[in-house]
Amino acid sequence: MPDDDKIKKCEIENEELKKLNNVKSDLISISAHQLRTSLSAVKWILKMFIDRDFGDMTTEQENFANRAFDSNERMIKMVNEMLSINHAEDMTLSYDFEKHDLVKLIESVLFDFTGESYKRGIEIIFLKPESLAPFMFDEEKIRVVLQNLIENSIKYSNTGDKVFVTVSDKDDVVNISVRDTGIGIAAGDQPRIFEKFFRADNAQKKDPVGSGLGLFTTKSIVEKHGGKIWLESTDKGGTTFFVDLPKKPSATSHTGKSPLTGGPGVL
């Protein structure tokens, strides 16, 4: 084989390997975020048992509950480390656009945070639309978006604060807003808030543990839906994140065949 052909073949193989690596990294990122939310839900339910919120336990029951809590904490730490070392710059994960009920999805996500919000003394209020027909979006990816936004709103709020989740039907788009009465985001930090690994100073003081990947991932997913995300906040307190999702996927939000799964296509 001539040298030029060998070089060309190596270049093609290298590009294919890059694509496969991107898909692998994105799978890790999305899966880890979903796993962390589920583990957090288990954590706060166990904490409620340990704190006797459901009544007294025997010594043996308390021992097992504490063991389960410690094991769960180790899993959360491992997932956070997984997110920290995962370097996926482009969201090339496969997307599966089908008609789904956004209100039911939000209710499902909010249920996962019931224990955490209760223990932190934070009230979550869901302002539902009068009616909203199912529309096209990737349910699992939008679940990640909702998980990240709601998790942050709880994490950076204080006891007695409230979180408001609102859905509005606006012609060709559906708007989701998540508003909290928490610590807020300084004006100087807002332009960087969606950057990979970035965490505002007051966020690090409030909660030292964090990967700085949640909002980066959230923005990537929203944009792959042909949508947009933005925020309004002040360092005096309170932040609102807005997400516009088109009811019909954009021209770039297509489906094809994934090189790994043979399923919906890589974007």
- The CATH number given to whatever domain includes residue 148 is 3.30.565.10
Q: Please write the tens of the pLDDT for every residue from 192-217.
A: 999 987 888 888 888 776 667 789 88
Q: What is the C-alpha end-to-end distance of the chain, expressed in Å?
A: 34
pLDDT(263) > 70? no
My answer on whether 48 and 134 are in the same domain is no
Higher pLDDT, 24 or 114: 114
My answer on whether 80 and 115 are in the same domain is no
My answer on whether 79 and 104 are in the same domain is no
In the chain, how many domains are there?
2
Strands 123-127 and 162-170, bridge-based pairing? parallel
Q: What CATH number does residue 22 fall under?
A: 1.10.287
Q: Residue 267 domain-assigned? A: no
Q: What band does 112 get if pLDDT is binned at 50, 70 and 90?
A: confident
Q: Please write the tens of the pLDDT for every residue from 44-98.
A: 888 888 988 888 989 888 888 888 888 888 788 777 766 655 544 444 567 889 9
Give the mean model confidence (pLDDT) for residues 132-157: 93
Q: What band does 173 get if pLDDT is binned at 50, 70 and 90?
A: very high
My answer on whether 102 and 81 are in the same domain is no
pTM for the whole structure: 0.69
Domain that holds residue 194: 98-246
Q: Residue 251 domain-assigned? A: no
pLDDT(103) > 60? yes
Amino acid sitting at position 60: E
Q: What band does 266 get if pLDDT is binned at 50, 70 and 90?
A: very low
Q: Residue 108 domain-assigned? A: yes
My answer on whether 208 and 108 are in the same domain is yes
Give the mean model confidence (pLDDT) for residues 215-227: 92
My answer on whether 158 and 130 are in the same domain is yes
- How far is CA 197 from its chain centroid? 14
Helix (H, G, I), strand (E, B) or coil at 24: helix
**Taking all residues of the chain, what is their mean pLDDT, rounded to a whole number?**
82
pLDDT(27) > 90? no
**Helix ranges, 86-238 (H):** 102-112, 114-120, 139-155, 201-206, 214-224
My answer on whether 128 and 168 are in the same domain is yes
My answer on whether 116 and 198 are in the same domain is yes
